[in-house]
Structure 1
Protein backbone atom coordinates (compact mmCIF):
# COMPACT_ATOMS: atom_id res chain seq x y z
CA UNK A 1 0.00 0.00 0.00
CA UNK A 2 1.32 3.43 -0.91
CA UNK A 3 2.25 5.61 2.11
CA UNK A 4 -0.25 8.30 1.21
CA UNK A 5 -3.07 5.76 1.01
CA UNK A 6 -2.14 4.37 4.42
CA UNK A 7 -2.08 7.88 5.84
CA UNK A 8 -5.57 8.57 4.53
CA UNK A 9 -7.13 5.71 6.49
CA UNK A 10 -7.19 7.55 9.84
CA UNK A 11 -8.62 10.64 8.13
CA UNK A 12 -11.33 8.48 6.62
CA UNK A 13 -12.10 7.27 10.12
CA UNK A 14 -12.56 10.86 11.25
CA UNK A 15 -15.03 11.49 8.44
CA UNK A 16 -16.85 8.27 9.21
CA UNK A 17 -17.34 9.35 12.80
CA UNK A 18 -18.73 12.70 11.75
CA UNK A 19 -21.19 11.06 9.35
CA UNK A 20 -22.20 8.45 11.91
CA UNK A 21 -23.60 11.10 14.22
CA UNK A 22 -26.20 11.96 11.58
CA UNK A 23 -27.58 8.41 11.38
CA UNK A 24 -30.70 7.91 13.53
CA UNK A 25 -30.74 4.59 15.44
CA UNK A 26 -33.34 3.34 17.87
CA UNK A 27 -32.41 3.37 21.56
CA UNK A 28 -33.87 -0.10 21.99
CA UNK A 29 -31.40 -1.45 19.43
CA UNK A 30 -28.50 0.06 21.36
CA UNK A 31 -29.69 -1.49 24.61
CA UNK A 32 -30.13 -4.90 23.00
CA UNK A 33 -26.63 -4.71 21.53
CA UNK A 34 -25.10 -3.81 24.90
CA UNK A 35 -26.86 -6.73 26.60
CA UNK A 36 -25.70 -9.13 23.88
CA UNK A 37 -22.10 -7.95 24.16
CA UNK A 38 -22.11 -8.30 27.95
CA UNK A 39 -23.45 -11.84 27.70
CA UNK A 40 -20.87 -12.64 25.03
CA UNK A 41 -18.04 -11.51 27.29
CA UNK A 42 -19.34 -13.51 30.26
CA UNK A 43 -19.58 -16.61 28.08
CA UNK A 44 -15.89 -16.19 27.20
CA UNK A 45 -14.86 -16.03 30.85
CA UNK A 46 -14.61 -12.34 31.55
CA UNK A 47 -17.10 -9.87 33.05
CA UNK A 48 -17.88 -12.68 35.51
CA UNK A 49 -18.92 -10.80 38.64
CA UNK A 50 -18.68 -13.95 40.73
CA UNK A 51 -14.92 -14.10 40.07
CA UNK A 52 -12.82 -13.64 43.19
CA UNK A 53 -9.17 -12.62 42.76
CA UNK A 54 -6.64 -15.22 43.84
CA UNK A 55 -3.63 -14.79 46.09
CA UNK A 56 -1.45 -15.02 42.99
CA UNK A 57 -3.43 -12.30 41.18
CA UNK A 58 -5.14 -10.28 43.91
CA UNK A 59 -6.33 -7.39 41.74
CA UNK A 60 -9.04 -7.57 39.07
CA UNK A 61 -8.04 -6.29 35.64
CA UNK A 62 -10.23 -3.74 33.87
CA UNK A 63 -9.79 -3.51 30.10
CA UNK A 64 -10.46 -0.12 28.48
CA UNK A 65 -11.17 -0.15 24.73
CA UNK A 66 -10.15 2.45 22.16
CA UNK A 67 -11.95 4.90 19.90
CA UNK A 68 -14.64 3.32 17.67
CA UNK A 69 -14.27 0.05 19.60
CA UNK A 70 -16.29 -1.63 22.36
CA UNK A 71 -15.72 -3.65 25.50
CA UNK A 72 -16.02 -7.01 23.76
CA UNK A 73 -14.55 -6.85 20.26
CA UNK A 74 -11.43 -4.99 21.40
CA UNK A 75 -10.59 -7.81 23.82
CA UNK A 76 -11.51 -11.05 22.06
CA UNK A 77 -7.87 -12.16 22.28
CA UNK A 78 -6.38 -10.42 25.34
CA UNK A 79 -9.27 -11.04 27.76
CA UNK A 80 -9.19 -14.86 27.38
CA UNK A 81 -5.39 -14.71 27.45
CA UNK A 82 -5.56 -13.15 30.92
CA UNK A 83 -8.47 -15.27 32.14
CA UNK A 84 -6.55 -18.43 31.21
CA UNK A 85 -3.70 -17.17 33.39
CA UNK A 86 -5.89 -16.81 36.45
CA UNK A 87 -6.96 -13.16 36.36
CA UNK A 88 -10.43 -11.81 37.05
CA UNK A 89 -11.05 -9.69 33.97
CA UNK A 90 -13.67 -7.05 33.25
CA UNK A 91 -14.37 -4.65 30.40
CA UNK A 92 -16.76 -1.77 29.81
CA UNK A 93 -18.28 0.29 27.03
CA UNK A 94 -17.82 4.05 27.36
CA UNK A 95 -18.08 7.27 25.42
CA UNK A 96 -21.29 6.55 23.53
CA UNK A 97 -22.85 9.48 21.70
CA UNK A 98 -26.64 9.85 21.49
CA UNK A 99 -28.03 7.93 18.53
CA UNK A 100 -24.73 6.18 17.73
CA UNK A 101 -24.84 2.67 19.26
CA UNK A 102 -22.35 1.01 16.93
CA UNK A 103 -19.33 3.15 17.88
CA UNK A 104 -17.99 3.88 21.35
CA UNK A 105 -15.19 6.04 22.69
CA UNK A 106 -16.42 9.12 20.82
CA UNK A 107 -17.83 11.24 23.65
CA UNK A 108 -15.88 13.78 25.73
CA UNK A 109 -12.96 12.02 27.37
CA UNK A 110 -13.55 13.61 30.77
CA UNK A 111 -17.09 12.20 30.78
CA UNK A 112 -15.79 8.80 29.69
CA UNK A 113 -13.39 8.91 32.64
CA UNK A 114 -16.37 9.37 34.94
CA UNK A 115 -17.91 6.22 33.44
CA UNK A 116 -14.65 4.37 34.05
CA UNK A 117 -14.58 5.55 37.68
CA UNK A 118 -18.10 4.19 38.24
CA UNK A 119 -17.20 0.90 36.56
CA UNK A 120 -14.08 0.44 38.68
CA UNK A 121 -16.14 1.01 41.82
CA UNK A 122 -18.58 -1.65 40.61
CA UNK A 123 -15.77 -4.15 39.97
CA UNK A 124 -14.13 -3.49 43.34
CA UNK A 125 -17.44 -3.91 45.15
CA UNK A 126 -18.14 -7.20 43.37
CA UNK A 127 -14.69 -8.70 43.84
CA UNK A 128 -13.92 -7.33 47.29
CA UNK A 129 -10.52 -6.11 46.10
CA UNK A 130 -9.00 -2.90 47.37
CA UNK A 131 -7.36 -1.97 44.05
CA UNK A 132 -7.61 -2.80 40.39
CA UNK A 133 -5.22 -2.85 37.45
CA UNK A 134 -6.10 -1.12 34.18
CA UNK A 135 -5.08 -2.12 30.64
CA UNK A 136 -6.13 0.19 27.82
CA UNK A 137 -5.67 0.34 24.07
CA UNK A 138 -5.37 3.58 22.09
CA UNK A 139 -7.75 6.12 23.70
CA UNK A 140 -8.17 3.48 26.41
CA UNK A 141 -4.50 4.02 27.24
CA UNK A 142 -5.08 7.76 27.59
CA UNK A 143 -8.53 8.28 29.08
CA UNK A 144 -7.78 6.51 32.40
CA UNK A 145 -5.04 9.05 33.06
CA UNK A 146 -7.78 11.67 33.50
CA UNK A 147 -9.45 9.35 36.02
CA UNK A 148 -6.15 8.85 37.84
CA UNK A 149 -5.26 12.54 37.93
CA UNK A 150 -8.56 14.33 38.46
CA UNK A 151 -11.13 11.80 39.74
CA UNK A 152 -9.29 10.09 42.57
CA UNK A 153 -8.42 6.99 40.59
CA UNK A 154 -4.88 6.78 41.93
CA UNK A 155 -6.30 5.49 45.22
CA UNK A 156 -7.99 2.57 43.42
CA UNK A 157 -5.44 1.64 40.75
CA UNK A 158 -2.16 -0.17 41.28
CA UNK A 159 -0.90 -0.69 37.70
CA UNK A 160 -1.84 0.95 34.41
CA UNK A 161 -0.75 -0.50 31.08
CA UNK A 162 -1.29 1.55 27.92
CA UNK A 163 -1.10 -0.24 24.56
CA UNK A 164 -0.46 2.22 21.71
CA UNK A 165 -1.92 5.06 23.82
CA UNK A 166 -2.57 8.58 22.57
CA UNK A 167 -0.86 10.10 25.60
CA UNK A 168 0.37 13.27 23.90
CA UNK A 169 -2.05 13.24 21.01
CA UNK A 170 -1.57 12.39 17.39
CA UNK A 171 -0.75 14.20 14.18
CA UNK A 172 -2.14 11.32 12.06
CA UNK A 173 1.09 11.39 10.06
CA UNK A 174 0.72 15.15 9.71
CA UNK A 175 -2.88 15.12 8.50
CA UNK A 176 -4.17 17.01 11.54
CA UNK A 177 -2.06 19.99 10.44
CA UNK A 178 -4.36 20.24 7.41
CA UNK A 179 -7.47 20.91 9.50
CA UNK A 180 -6.69 24.62 9.64
CA UNK A 181 -7.06 24.79 5.88
CA UNK A 182 -10.67 23.57 6.03
CA UNK A 183 -12.88 26.22 7.65
CA UNK A 184 -15.12 24.70 10.30
CA UNK A 185 -13.32 21.34 10.37
CA UNK A 186 -12.15 21.79 13.96
CA UNK A 187 -15.64 22.76 15.07
CA UNK A 188 -17.13 19.79 13.24
CA UNK A 189 -14.77 17.37 14.97
CA UNK A 190 -15.35 18.92 18.38
CA UNK A 191 -19.13 18.85 17.99
CA UNK A 192 -19.57 15.53 16.20
CA UNK A 193 -16.83 13.45 17.82
CA UNK A 194 -15.38 15.22 20.88
CA UNK A 195 -12.92 12.46 21.78
CA UNK A 196 -11.27 12.61 18.38
CA UNK A 197 -10.76 16.37 18.64
CA UNK A 198 -9.35 15.96 22.15
CA UNK A 199 -6.77 13.45 20.90
CA UNK A 200 -5.30 15.78 18.29
CA UNK A 201 -1.80 16.84 19.34
CA UNK A 202 -1.88 20.24 21.03
CA UNK A 203 -5.55 20.11 22.06
CA UNK A 204 -6.69 22.02 25.12
CA UNK A 205 -7.67 18.73 26.75
CA UNK A 206 -4.19 17.25 26.38
CA UNK A 207 -2.54 20.47 27.52
CA UNK A 208 -4.50 20.34 30.76
CA UNK A 209 -4.04 16.60 31.26
CA UNK A 210 -0.26 16.70 30.82
CA UNK A 211 0.36 19.94 32.71
CA UNK A 212 2.48 19.35 35.78
CA UNK A 213 3.65 15.91 34.69
CA UNK A 214 2.39 12.81 32.92
CA UNK A 215 1.96 10.58 35.96
CA UNK A 216 0.57 10.59 39.48
CA UNK A 217 2.25 9.07 42.56
CA UNK A 218 1.31 5.59 43.64
CA UNK A 219 0.55 4.11 40.21
CA UNK A 220 2.91 1.92 38.18
CA UNK A 221 2.84 2.73 34.45
CA UNK A 222 3.81 0.67 31.42
CA UNK A 223 3.49 1.90 27.83
CA UNK A 224 3.73 -0.50 24.89
CA UNK A 225 4.29 1.08 21.47
CA UNK A 226 5.08 -0.07 17.94
CA UNK A 227 7.24 1.81 15.47
CA UNK A 228 4.68 0.92 12.78
CA UNK A 229 1.84 2.82 14.43
CA UNK A 230 0.00 4.80 11.75
CA UNK A 231 -2.74 6.20 14.02
CA UNK A 232 -0.93 7.67 17.02
CA UNK A 233 2.00 9.48 15.45
CA UNK A 234 4.79 10.04 16.02
CA UNK A 235 4.88 6.77 17.95
CA UNK A 236 7.28 8.12 20.57
CA UNK A 237 4.61 10.61 21.63
CA UNK A 238 2.95 7.65 23.32
CA UNK A 239 5.71 7.34 25.92
CA UNK A 240 5.31 8.85 29.38
CA UNK A 241 7.76 10.72 31.57
CA UNK A 242 7.80 10.38 35.32
CA UNK A 243 8.61 8.08 38.17
CA UNK A 244 7.65 4.41 38.02
CA UNK A 245 7.21 4.41 34.24
CA UNK A 246 8.38 1.70 31.85
CA UNK A 247 8.24 2.61 28.16
CA UNK A 248 8.57 -0.35 25.80
CA UNK A 249 9.03 -0.34 22.03
CA UNK A 250 7.79 -3.76 20.98
CA UNK A 251 10.41 -4.06 18.21
CA UNK A 252 13.16 -3.81 20.86
CA UNK A 253 11.82 -7.12 22.17
CA UNK A 254 11.13 -8.70 18.79
CA UNK A 255 12.47 -6.95 15.67
CA UNK A 256 10.27 -9.21 13.53
CA UNK A 257 7.05 -7.86 15.07
CA UNK A 258 5.25 -5.87 12.35
CA UNK A 259 2.13 -5.00 14.34
CA UNK A 260 0.62 -1.59 13.67
CA UNK A 261 -1.76 0.35 15.90
CA UNK A 262 -4.79 -1.94 15.89
CA UNK A 263 -2.95 -5.25 15.83
CA UNK A 264 -0.83 -4.35 18.84
CA UNK A 265 -3.92 -4.28 21.05
CA UNK A 266 -6.08 -6.83 19.28
CA UNK A 267 -3.78 -9.69 18.31
CA UNK A 268 -0.18 -9.29 19.37
CA UNK A 269 0.79 -12.02 21.84
CA UNK A 270 4.23 -10.49 22.26
CA UNK A 271 2.49 -7.38 23.59
CA UNK A 272 0.17 -9.59 25.65
CA UNK A 273 3.19 -11.22 27.29
CA UNK A 274 4.47 -7.78 28.25
CA UNK A 275 1.05 -6.97 29.72
CA UNK A 276 1.31 -9.96 32.05
CA UNK A 277 4.86 -8.94 32.98
CA UNK A 278 3.57 -5.50 33.92
CA UNK A 279 0.68 -6.93 35.94
CA UNK A 280 2.92 -9.39 37.81
CA UNK A 281 6.51 -8.14 37.67
CA UNK A 282 7.61 -10.48 40.45
CA UNK A 283 7.11 -13.39 38.07
CA UNK A 284 8.04 -11.65 34.82
CA UNK A 285 9.86 -13.61 32.14
CA UNK A 286 11.80 -12.33 29.17
CA UNK A 287 9.69 -11.28 26.20
CA UNK A 288 11.09 -12.40 22.84
CA UNK A 289 9.77 -13.32 19.41
CA UNK A 290 9.06 -16.78 20.86
CA UNK A 291 6.50 -15.23 23.22
CA UNK A 292 4.06 -15.38 20.33
CA UNK A 293 3.60 -19.08 21.15
CA UNK A 294 3.76 -18.71 24.92
Structure 2
Protein backbone atom coordinates (compact mmCIF):
# COMPACT_ATOMS: atom_id res chain seq x y z
CA UNK A 1 0.00 0.00 0.00
CA UNK A 2 2.85 2.36 0.84
CA UNK A 3 4.45 1.72 -2.57
CA UNK A 4 1.17 2.38 -4.41
CA UNK A 5 0.66 5.64 -2.50
CA UNK A 6 4.20 6.79 -3.25
CA UNK A 7 3.63 6.10 -6.93
CA UNK A 8 0.39 8.04 -6.83
CA UNK A 9 2.22 11.01 -5.36
CA UNK A 10 4.59 11.07 -8.33
CA UNK A 11 1.63 11.55 -10.64
CA UNK A 12 0.17 14.56 -8.87
CA UNK A 13 2.32 17.18 -10.64
CA UNK A 14 1.12 15.94 -14.03
CA UNK A 15 -2.49 16.00 -12.92
CA UNK A 16 -1.99 19.42 -11.40
CA UNK A 17 -0.71 20.69 -14.73
CA UNK A 18 -3.66 19.14 -16.53
CA UNK A 19 -6.04 20.92 -14.16
CA UNK A 20 -4.25 24.26 -14.60
CA UNK A 21 -2.76 24.37 -11.12
CA UNK A 22 0.94 24.77 -11.91
CA UNK A 23 2.91 27.87 -12.72
CA UNK A 24 4.37 28.38 -16.17
CA UNK A 25 7.90 27.08 -16.69
CA UNK A 26 10.46 28.83 -18.88
CA UNK A 27 10.50 27.70 -22.48
CA UNK A 28 13.13 25.21 -23.58
CA UNK A 29 15.94 26.24 -25.86
CA UNK A 30 15.54 25.70 -29.59
CA UNK A 31 16.48 22.20 -30.80
CA UNK A 32 20.16 21.60 -31.38
CA UNK A 33 21.34 22.11 -34.95
CA UNK A 34 24.49 21.59 -37.03
CA UNK A 35 26.77 20.34 -34.22
CA UNK A 36 24.31 17.74 -32.97
CA UNK A 37 20.83 16.69 -33.91
CA UNK A 38 18.30 18.53 -36.09
CA UNK A 39 21.09 19.14 -38.57
CA UNK A 40 19.24 19.45 -41.88
CA UNK A 41 22.47 19.17 -43.86
CA UNK A 42 23.07 15.67 -42.45
CA UNK A 43 22.95 12.95 -45.10
CA UNK A 44 22.35 9.36 -43.97
CA UNK A 45 25.28 6.99 -44.53
CA UNK A 46 25.35 3.55 -46.10
CA UNK A 47 25.63 2.09 -42.59
CA UNK A 48 22.62 4.08 -41.31
CA UNK A 49 20.57 4.86 -44.42
CA UNK A 50 17.50 6.32 -42.72
CA UNK A 51 17.13 9.41 -40.53
CA UNK A 52 15.83 8.87 -37.01
CA UNK A 53 12.92 11.00 -35.81
CA UNK A 54 12.57 11.31 -32.03
CA UNK A 55 9.04 11.89 -30.69
CA UNK A 56 8.79 13.18 -27.12
CA UNK A 57 6.20 12.16 -24.55
CA UNK A 58 3.37 14.01 -22.83
CA UNK A 59 4.61 17.14 -21.04
CA UNK A 60 7.90 16.80 -22.93
CA UNK A 61 9.51 18.77 -25.74
CA UNK A 62 11.92 18.32 -28.63
CA UNK A 63 14.99 19.13 -26.54
CA UNK A 64 14.68 18.01 -22.94
CA UNK A 65 13.27 14.57 -23.70
CA UNK A 66 16.31 13.70 -25.83
CA UNK A 67 19.35 15.15 -24.07
CA UNK A 68 20.60 11.60 -23.51
CA UNK A 69 19.46 9.54 -26.49
CA UNK A 70 19.95 12.08 -29.30
CA UNK A 71 23.71 12.56 -28.70
CA UNK A 72 24.02 8.79 -28.18
CA UNK A 73 22.63 8.14 -31.66
CA UNK A 74 24.48 11.05 -33.31
CA UNK A 75 27.75 9.66 -31.94
CA UNK A 76 26.93 6.37 -33.65
CA UNK A 77 26.55 7.99 -37.04
CA UNK A 78 22.80 8.58 -37.30
CA UNK A 79 21.09 11.68 -38.68
CA UNK A 80 18.76 12.54 -35.80
CA UNK A 81 15.78 14.89 -35.71
CA UNK A 82 13.17 15.82 -33.11
CA UNK A 83 9.99 17.88 -33.13
CA UNK A 84 7.60 19.62 -30.77
CA UNK A 85 3.97 18.58 -31.12
CA UNK A 86 0.68 18.84 -29.29
CA UNK A 87 1.22 22.43 -28.14
CA UNK A 88 -1.59 24.24 -26.35
CA UNK A 89 -2.04 28.03 -26.57
CA UNK A 90 -0.34 29.81 -23.68
CA UNK A 91 1.45 26.66 -22.47
CA UNK A 92 5.15 26.81 -23.35
CA UNK A 93 7.65 24.03 -22.69
CA UNK A 94 5.07 21.34 -21.79
CA UNK A 95 3.79 19.78 -25.02
CA UNK A 96 1.94 16.67 -26.14
CA UNK A 97 -1.31 17.93 -24.61
CA UNK A 98 -3.29 18.57 -27.78
CA UNK A 99 -5.55 15.99 -29.47
CA UNK A 100 -3.51 12.96 -30.52
CA UNK A 101 -5.00 12.99 -34.03
CA UNK A 102 -3.78 16.58 -34.49
CA UNK A 103 -0.36 15.60 -33.15
CA UNK A 104 -0.19 12.75 -35.66
CA UNK A 105 -0.84 15.27 -38.45
CA UNK A 106 2.00 17.41 -37.11
CA UNK A 107 4.27 14.36 -37.18
CA UNK A 108 3.21 13.67 -40.78
CA UNK A 109 4.31 17.13 -41.86
CA UNK A 110 7.57 16.86 -39.95
CA UNK A 111 8.46 13.47 -41.41
CA UNK A 112 7.89 14.83 -44.91
CA UNK A 113 10.23 17.73 -44.10
CA UNK A 114 12.95 15.33 -42.87
CA UNK A 115 12.54 13.07 -45.90
CA UNK A 116 12.88 16.04 -48.25
CA UNK A 117 15.97 17.35 -46.45
CA UNK A 118 17.75 13.99 -46.31
CA UNK A 119 16.70 12.66 -49.71
CA UNK A 120 15.39 9.42 -48.24
CA UNK A 121 12.11 7.57 -48.67
CA UNK A 122 11.66 6.29 -45.12
CA UNK A 123 12.49 7.26 -41.54
CA UNK A 124 12.92 5.31 -38.34
CA UNK A 125 10.96 6.65 -35.36
CA UNK A 126 11.86 6.40 -31.67
CA UNK A 127 9.20 7.66 -29.29
CA UNK A 128 8.83 7.92 -25.53
CA UNK A 129 5.47 7.38 -23.81
CA UNK A 130 2.79 9.08 -25.95
CA UNK A 131 5.57 9.52 -28.50
CA UNK A 132 5.73 5.76 -28.92
CA UNK A 133 1.99 5.41 -29.41
CA UNK A 134 1.11 8.52 -31.44
CA UNK A 135 3.24 7.49 -34.47
CA UNK A 136 0.96 4.46 -34.80
CA UNK A 137 -1.91 6.92 -35.32
CA UNK A 138 0.19 8.64 -37.99
CA UNK A 139 0.92 5.34 -39.71
CA UNK A 140 -2.64 4.01 -39.56
CA UNK A 141 -4.67 7.12 -40.34
CA UNK A 142 -2.42 9.85 -41.74
CA UNK A 143 -0.39 8.29 -44.53
CA UNK A 144 2.68 7.22 -42.59
CA UNK A 145 2.67 3.46 -43.13
CA UNK A 146 4.83 3.64 -46.24
CA UNK A 147 7.22 6.21 -44.78
CA UNK A 148 8.34 4.38 -41.61
CA UNK A 149 10.71 1.43 -41.51
CA UNK A 150 11.05 0.93 -37.75
CA UNK A 151 9.13 2.18 -34.72
CA UNK A 152 10.79 1.90 -31.32
CA UNK A 153 8.56 2.71 -28.34
CA UNK A 154 10.13 3.51 -24.97
CA UNK A 155 7.38 2.91 -22.39
CA UNK A 156 4.64 3.64 -24.96
CA UNK A 157 1.00 3.77 -23.88
CA UNK A 158 -0.15 1.63 -26.77
CA UNK A 159 -3.33 0.49 -25.05
CA UNK A 160 -3.80 3.42 -22.70
CA UNK A 161 -3.15 3.82 -19.02
CA UNK A 162 -5.10 3.97 -15.79
CA UNK A 163 -2.22 5.92 -14.14
CA UNK A 164 -1.83 3.24 -11.51
CA UNK A 165 -5.57 3.34 -10.94
CA UNK A 166 -5.77 7.12 -10.59
CA UNK A 167 -8.05 7.55 -13.61
CA UNK A 168 -10.63 5.37 -11.86
CA UNK A 169 -11.12 8.24 -9.42
CA UNK A 170 -12.39 10.62 -12.11
CA UNK A 171 -16.06 9.56 -11.79
CA UNK A 172 -15.93 10.59 -8.13
CA UNK A 173 -15.10 14.21 -9.07
CA UNK A 174 -18.03 15.59 -11.08
CA UNK A 175 -16.87 17.51 -14.11
CA UNK A 176 -13.21 16.43 -13.85
CA UNK A 177 -13.29 14.19 -16.92
CA UNK A 178 -15.10 16.85 -18.95
CA UNK A 179 -12.52 19.41 -17.88
CA UNK A 180 -9.66 17.16 -18.93
CA UNK A 181 -11.33 16.49 -22.29
CA UNK A 182 -11.61 20.22 -22.96
CA UNK A 183 -8.42 21.55 -21.39
CA UNK A 184 -5.97 18.75 -22.22
CA UNK A 185 -7.47 16.44 -24.84
CA UNK A 186 -4.12 14.72 -25.35
CA UNK A 187 -4.35 13.35 -21.82
CA UNK A 188 -7.93 12.17 -22.25
CA UNK A 189 -6.97 10.39 -25.48
CA UNK A 190 -4.47 8.29 -23.52
CA UNK A 191 -6.86 6.99 -20.88
CA UNK A 192 -7.59 3.32 -21.35
CA UNK A 193 -10.80 2.84 -23.33
CA UNK A 194 -10.70 6.25 -25.03
CA UNK A 195 -12.30 6.61 -28.46
CA UNK A 196 -8.88 7.34 -29.97
CA UNK A 197 -7.30 4.19 -28.57
CA UNK A 198 -10.26 2.01 -29.47
CA UNK A 199 -10.03 3.25 -33.05
CA UNK A 200 -6.25 2.84 -33.15
CA UNK A 201 -6.22 -0.76 -31.91
CA UNK A 202 -9.30 -2.00 -33.75
CA UNK A 203 -8.33 -4.66 -36.27
CA UNK A 204 -4.84 -5.24 -34.88
CA UNK A 205 -1.92 -3.39 -33.34
CA UNK A 206 0.39 -3.19 -36.35
CA UNK A 207 0.47 -2.21 -40.01
CA UNK A 208 2.30 -4.29 -42.63
CA UNK A 209 5.89 -3.48 -43.50
CA UNK A 210 6.91 -1.78 -40.26
CA UNK A 211 9.30 -3.30 -37.71
CA UNK A 212 8.18 -2.72 -34.10
CA UNK A 213 10.15 -2.78 -30.86
CA UNK A 214 8.62 -1.96 -27.47
CA UNK A 215 10.96 -1.41 -24.51
CA UNK A 216 9.19 -1.42 -21.15
CA UNK A 217 10.14 -1.28 -17.49
CA UNK A 218 8.31 -3.13 -14.78
CA UNK A 219 8.78 -0.06 -12.56
CA UNK A 220 6.63 2.11 -14.84
CA UNK A 221 4.35 4.24 -12.67
CA UNK A 222 2.66 6.14 -15.49
CA UNK A 223 1.70 3.55 -18.10
CA UNK A 224 0.05 0.94 -15.94
CA UNK A 225 -0.14 -2.00 -16.03
CA UNK A 226 3.18 -1.91 -17.85
CA UNK A 227 2.48 -4.96 -20.01
CA UNK A 228 -0.30 -3.01 -21.76
CA UNK A 229 2.56 -1.29 -23.58
CA UNK A 230 3.26 -4.45 -25.58
CA UNK A 231 2.06 -4.92 -29.13
CA UNK A 232 0.75 -8.04 -30.80
CA UNK A 233 1.33 -8.86 -34.43
CA UNK A 234 4.00 -9.80 -36.95
CA UNK A 235 7.48 -8.30 -36.68
CA UNK A 236 7.04 -7.20 -33.06
CA UNK A 237 9.77 -7.41 -30.42
CA UNK A 238 8.58 -6.72 -26.86
CA UNK A 239 11.32 -6.18 -24.28
CA UNK A 240 11.32 -5.69 -20.49
CA UNK A 241 14.44 -3.88 -19.25
CA UNK A 242 14.68 -6.06 -16.19
CA UNK A 243 14.86 -9.19 -18.34
CA UNK A 244 18.06 -7.76 -19.78
CA UNK A 245 19.39 -6.32 -16.52
CA UNK A 246 17.71 -7.30 -13.27
CA UNK A 247 19.47 -4.40 -11.52
CA UNK A 248 17.91 -1.76 -13.76
CA UNK A 249 15.59 0.43 -11.65
CA UNK A 250 14.53 2.90 -14.33
CA UNK A 251 10.90 3.99 -14.22
CA UNK A 252 8.77 5.77 -16.82
CA UNK A 253 10.81 8.96 -17.16
CA UNK A 254 14.32 7.52 -16.81
CA UNK A 255 13.83 4.92 -19.54
CA UNK A 256 13.71 7.71 -22.09
CA UNK A 257 16.14 10.16 -20.50
CA UNK A 258 19.13 8.30 -19.11
CA UNK A 259 18.87 4.51 -19.34
CA UNK A 260 21.87 3.14 -21.25
CA UNK A 261 20.35 -0.33 -21.42
CA UNK A 262 17.31 1.10 -23.18
CA UNK A 263 19.56 3.19 -25.43
CA UNK A 264 21.57 0.13 -26.48
CA UNK A 265 18.43 -1.88 -27.15
CA UNK A 266 17.15 1.04 -29.24
CA UNK A 267 20.34 1.00 -31.30
CA UNK A 268 19.92 -2.75 -31.81
CA UNK A 269 16.37 -2.20 -33.07
CA UNK A 270 17.54 0.48 -35.51
CA UNK A 271 20.35 -1.70 -36.86
CA UNK A 272 19.43 -5.35 -36.18
CA UNK A 273 22.05 -6.64 -38.63
CA UNK A 274 24.76 -5.40 -36.27
CA UNK A 275 23.00 -5.94 -32.95
CA UNK A 276 25.07 -6.92 -29.93
CA UNK A 277 23.90 -8.42 -26.63
CA UNK A 278 22.32 -5.89 -24.27
CA UNK A 279 23.59 -6.20 -20.69
CA UNK A 280 23.78 -4.11 -17.53
CA UNK A 281 26.99 -2.56 -18.84
CA UNK A 282 25.77 -1.77 -22.35
CA UNK A 283 27.12 1.53 -23.58
- Normalised by the length of structure 1, the TM-score is 0.92
Equivalent position of 2:125 in the other structure: 134
Instruction: Report how many residues are paired.
Output: 282
How does 1:117-196 map onto structure 2 within 5 Å? 117-196=108-187
Cα distance, 1:175 vs. partner? Answer: 1.0
Aligned equivalents of 2:202, 2:270: Cα separation in 1? 27
Equivalent position of 2:17 in the other structure: 16
Root-mean-square deviation (CA, aligned residues, Å) is 1.7
Aligned equivalents of 1:14, 1:37: Cα separation in 2? 26
Equivalent position of 1:3 in the other structure: 4
How does 1:273-288 map onto structure 2 within 5 Å? 273-288=264-279
Map Cα deviations across residues 246-267 of structure 1 (whole Å, 9 max, x no partner).
0000100000000000000000
Specify which of 86, 97, 102 is matched with residue 111 of structure 1. 102
Aligned equivalents of 1:11, 1:183: Cα separation in 2? 18
Cα distance, 1:10 vs. partner? Answer: 1.6
- Normalised by the length of structure 2, the TM-score is 0.96
Equivalent position of 1:37 in the other structure: 30
1:99 paired with 2:100, answer no
1:199 paired with 2:200, answer no
Aligned equivalents of 2:66, 2:13: Cα separation in 1? 24
Contact 2:129–2:154, Cα closer than 8 Å, also in 1: yes
1:233 paired with 2:201, answer no
Higher helix share: 1
Give the SS at the match of 1:66: coil
Equivalent position of 2:80 in the other structure: 89
Contact 1:44–1:80, Cα closer than 8 Å, also in 2: no
Q: Which runs of 5+ in 1 are unaligned?
A: none
Give the SS at the match of 1:6: helix
Give the SS at the match of 1:168: coil
1:63 paired with 2:54, answer yes
Aligned equivalents of 2:198, 2:15: Cα separation in 1? 21
Cα distance, 1:3 vs. partner? Answer: 3.1
Aligned equivalents of 2:155, 2:241: Cα separation in 1? 10
Contact 2:85–2:103, Cα closer than 8 Å, also in 1: yes
Cα distance, 1:204 vs. partner? Answer: 1.1
Give the SS at the match of 1:207: helix
Stretches (4+) displaced over 3 A: none
Map Cα deviations across residues 105-148 of structure 1 (whole Å, 9 max, x no partner).
00000000000000000000000011100000000001000001
